[in-house]
Structure 1
Amino acid sequence: MTKLRCDSAKGRTLAPQRPNAGVEAAYRKALTDLVEEMAASVDYWVKANYRKIEPQVAQDASPASVLQGIMNKLTARWRTRFNEVADELARRFVRQAQGHADRQLSLDLQRNGFAIKFKPTQAMKQTAALSAAENVTLIKSIPEQYLSQIEGAVMRSALAGGDLGTLTADLKQRYGITHRRAAFIARDQNRKVGEAMTRTRQMGLGITEAIWQHSHGGKHPRESHVKAGRDKLRYRLDKGAYIDGQWIFPGSEPNCRCVSKPIIPGFDD
């Protein structure tokens, strides 16, 4: 791969690379559709069986064993469903994120006078594989957390002699939490994967440093990130910026919208 050098002694900065809203939207829809499908199934079977045994709930604990059996079946079913789709869903998302990152970087390089045709590299393959593996784990964690919470709610209600109305409200709340978590995974991973792909490409081009740029977005910005942007903090792409006692990259922290401005080395570098 060509190693970039610009005709300036001090080098030149490229524009920040930003995540693609369309890639995030597609991933979010895929995840939330699965969550909605799972929640509808759980809601139907839990309520149908709870309704049958509700008169007994306040009298003895035997209905709890029936509900436990239902939850065991639902957990097995939806764990299998998510496991079946996790790998392909994660790989498709990573391919889309990589495609956007490559196109955005290529266009910016063209605007700066560099015509680069990207090719598959071992470093990019490794970044893609690691990104996909992380997303497979996150996808599989969705039913694990949700169904564990649902099982706890159902069993507590049965043992306490709770009514179906109260349990229904609890089921709705748990669904909302899981739906928001799926959306967060899509948003958070879209930033992280895009940043990792772009950074890998940049290092392959001989770019070693970047400048931290704060997004100026969000209701509660991290002061340390604001300061890094104000100071135009320069950091190494292979190491990250040392902020709040750890080495991080823009967008790597939850809800961080910061970006980087990569520096093409000059002839003095």
Structure 2
Amino acid sequence: MKKKPGKARRWLYPAGVERDYTRRLVTIADEAVQAIEPAVLRALGYRADIADPSIDIGWYQGLIQALQAGTSLSPVQDQVLGPLISEFARRTTRFNKQQFHGVLRSAYGVNVLTADPELRDMLSVWESENLELIKSLPTKYVDQLRGQVTAAVQSGKSLRDVVALVKKTGKVTKGRAELIARDQIGKLNGDITQARQQGIGVEEYRWRGVLDGRERSEHVAREGKTYRWDKPPEDGHPGQPIRCRCSAEAVLPDLDDLNALIVH
């Protein structure tokens, strides 16, 4: 008689990995901002101890020099980022593997040994994309500062207003770092989940969300609905949409139908 799967434990999201990656990327972004922002403010003639400062007459040349110098001092370098990104790829993969085997054990009541799917190409692509995304942080920051500050000064904004704009741009850059971290961990976790489930013969999954205030309404509406791995929803499988923390609850086959080795 075939052994049907019981109720499996929930496949958890790597929230701790995401949190640590976010902290590291925000630190990188903050270092880039701190390397550039003070020099930009000096170039504009800003001094915190002056009650009513005015924009320095040579502000544009000083701005360009500050941006060029700040970019050259940027701490975002391949030799630093490469190992960092690889570390978080490994942590996400390891967490996902633990969840995978925990789910199978809870569903069947036996140890299920599976061959790890070939993840090398997937991880290589993910690491390359993350490297480019992180390296783009100071570049985009400099471009935004150049364009926004120039437009603000030329339109007659006061120095106080321009300084506020400069500081806001720094916060936007750090927010973008946070977005990259959260989005990329979710995507990698979702892609590995798909590879592992399809590797043992799972064809369908139930959509499961975090169901908190951050979850988008269209994903809340999918809660518990069944989807096929070969027919994704409009915006992709769990983890693929931007900043998606949802997970795929495998619709498991009978134990004898698993593409795996059973250890009693």
TM-score, structure 1 length as denominator? 0.79
Question: How many residue pairs align between the two structures?
Answer: 250
Instruction: Say whether 1:104 aligns with 2:99.
Output: yes
Cα distance in 2 between the residues matched to 1:233 and 1:155? 52
Q: CA, structure 1 residues 114+147, in 2 after alignment: closer, same or farther (shift >3 Å)?
A: farther
Are the equivalent residues in 2 in contact too, given 1:43–1:171 (CA < 8 A)?
yes
Are the equivalent residues in 2 in contact too, given 1:213–1:260 (CA < 8 A)?
yes
Instruction: Say whether 1:71 aligns with 2:51.
Output: no
Gaps of 5+ in 1: 1-5
- Shift of the alpha carbon at 1:19? 1.9
Give the equivalent residue in structure 1 for 2:183: 188
Give the aligned CA root-mean-square deviation in angstroms: 2.9
Are the equivalent residues in 1 in contact too, given 2:208–2:247 (CA < 8 A)?
yes
Give the equivalent residue in structure 1 for 2:237: 249
Instruction: Report the more deviating stretch, 196-205 or 151-160.
Output: 151-160
Q: CA, structure 1 residues 35+191, in 2 after alignment: closer, same or farther (shift >3 Å)?
A: same
Instruction: Say whether 1:40 aligns with 2:31.
Output: no
Cα distance in 2 between the residues matched to 1:84 and 1:46? 28
Instruction: Say whether 1:141 aligns with 2:136.
Output: yes
Q: Which has the higher contact order (CA 8 A, sep 6+)?
A: 1
Cα distance in 2 between the residues matched to 1:175 and 1:75? 14
Give the equivalent residue in structure 2 for 1:217: 212
**Paired residue type of 2:68:** N
**Paired residue type of 1:249:** H
Give the equivalent residue in structure 2 for 1:197: 192
Give the equivalent residue in structure 2 for 1:3: none
Cα distance in 2 between the residues matched to 1:46 and 1:226? 44
Larger helix proportion, structure 1 or 2?
Answer: 1
Q: CA, structure 1 residues 141+253, in 2 after alignment: closer, same or farther (shift >3 Å)?
A: same
Secondary structure, counterpart of 1:211 in structure 2 = strand
Cα distance in 1 between the residues matched to 2:250 and 2:73? 46
Secondary structure, counterpart of 1:250 in structure 2 = coil
Give the equivalent residue in structure 1 for 2:50: none
- Shift of the alpha carbon at 1:104? 1.4
Map 1:1-269 onto structure 2 (within 5 A): 7-8=3-4, 14-51=8-45, 57=56, 63-78=59-74, 81-111=76-106, 112-117=108-113, 121=117, 123-160=118-155, 162-218=157-213, 221-223=216-218, 225-229=219-223, 232-236=225-229, 239-243=230-234, 248-266=236-254
Secondary structure, counterpart of 2:223 in structure 1 = helix
TM-score, structure 2 length as denominator? 0.80
Are the equivalent residues in 1 in contact too, given 2:205–2:227 (CA < 8 A)?
yes
Q: CA, structure 1 residues 24+72, in 2 after alignment: closer, same or farther (shift >3 Å)?
A: same
Are the equivalent residues in 1 in contact too, given 2:45–2:55 (CA < 8 A)?
no
Q: CA, structure 1 residues 268+71, in 2 after alignment: closer, same or farther (shift >3 Å)?
A: closer
- Shift of the alpha carbon at 1:173? 0.7
Are the equivalent residues in 2 in contact too, given 1:68–1:155 (CA < 8 A)?
no
**Paired residue type of 1:77:** L
Cα distance in 1 between the residues matched to 2:9 and 2:132? 32
Cα distance in 2 between the residues matched to 1:57 and 1:162? 13
- Shift of the alpha carbon at 1:208? 2.5
